[in-house]
Structure 1
């Protein structure tokens, strides 16, 4: 209140004290503008210097689409869903519930990469992006099974506190397949159609779960599709999503085993990441060569891609590591 009174005084000062000279009036007017910017909850100046949350949605869907199309290979289904649901979510002034997406697939297929692209595009300023995008690594943050009750309390407090500060917060949970059973259910109250929980509105928050579990099922379906001489692009999305939710719910190594999040249908989308084929690995190698400033040697590209496509042993159609080790192989020239 004192700050507000001071700001009003600075704003009204020039009209109340006509005796002030021109220089003094200009100084006071400038101070008033500065004070007003610092007091305003959504001011660009406060966001820049005081690291406040940028309340205005800044996700540019066309730019996000360009980044995904140019940088992510072999994941037309994932890109399609992510763009569609984020576009709908951003356009809603007050979503009824947080957006919750669960990414599933083999390692190296792009789950973490797409998450990082979303994070990079969610905020215009680098500082808010660092402060309001929260990444939880199961191995790092929840390593001890005996501490699950403590983790539950800490996780609830962390989410509640950060959403209170910034409604448009992004929470990324990686290595979900190693998440202690029951831990993720502790955030169930924040993910439903509640509007507000204890005075905190969660509808603009975004939750991403990254999970290797389900990867074998996705690969099985993709391989069967290929053996029946059908196009990868024609794999039915609804079938994959339905099978995924069942697989994850009954898989003890999914982190969502018999989870309330699935029982209560608060996970909005189970997003499949298809196994990468030889042509996709070549695209990864080519992109990495450009990134590291190397010439695009076609023989070198083919050599790496051929060595990495190793499943099944007969057809050698898919890479079990996706593009996970491409950067290292390019760096070492192997």
Structure 2
């Protein structure tokens, strides 16, 4: 690692075109080209940016929210699929590494959606599909948890890159798993959360988590959070003044770039739409690691051991019996 990368990172803070995957992907492509035009080689988008976050889980009971789940399922993303292809093409055209959150439909069940982070290389290759391990609180009404197979650090042009979604950045063992694979750049994607308890400041929470990971691991963190547009308020709240007031709560979003000392490299953006840019110089991770390297000399691996099951999990395992006719690879559709 003689020549550690030095580059510009961009953290996108924006709203989706709510529950419209195609229009949101178009918006993402426009933002990719804007950020790349300003010199960004890494562009990080919010959690489930395509096509948005299920706020109804927090404002309605499960019966009222069920039709909204169907709307989300119908406008979610297939991986692989045409929306992913569009994002891959945009990354290739921009020459930038992209991290973007999507609602991913499962191939095997209409009832399964994943909160997924896509990592796309600057050449357009789909490097990673990370499914959020544990949906947070009310999110369990919408998403199925992923498995450990996607807890991987990707070797990219901008350095060793790892990603986690929102509350996963509170999970010490998940973060350590990435750090122990040599992560130097961490992408953290969030959603604006005005529906949290009254004493919960989401902007402060995001900053605290991001600073903690950067300081503990001596890495750079790029954190991107969504915003809540008037369109989202209109759809979710309707004529309910209490829900309207709730969704308008300030300090619900924060995006920015944090350095290996745990401090913001530049002023974070709170609540408003925009893109935060900052220069990242991975050589600045070296000296801090001499003091505290929790995946190296500042640990006791004779005492502590983390075992991660990174096997992909499938709902079905078929075991062939000798003499059985093999099942057809595909089923023909009826004419």
Structure-1-length-normalised TM-score: 0.31
Structure-2-length-normalised TM-score: 0.31
**Which has a greater percent of strand?**
2
**Which has a greater percent of helix?**
1
Q: Bigger radius of gyration, 1 or 2?
A: 1
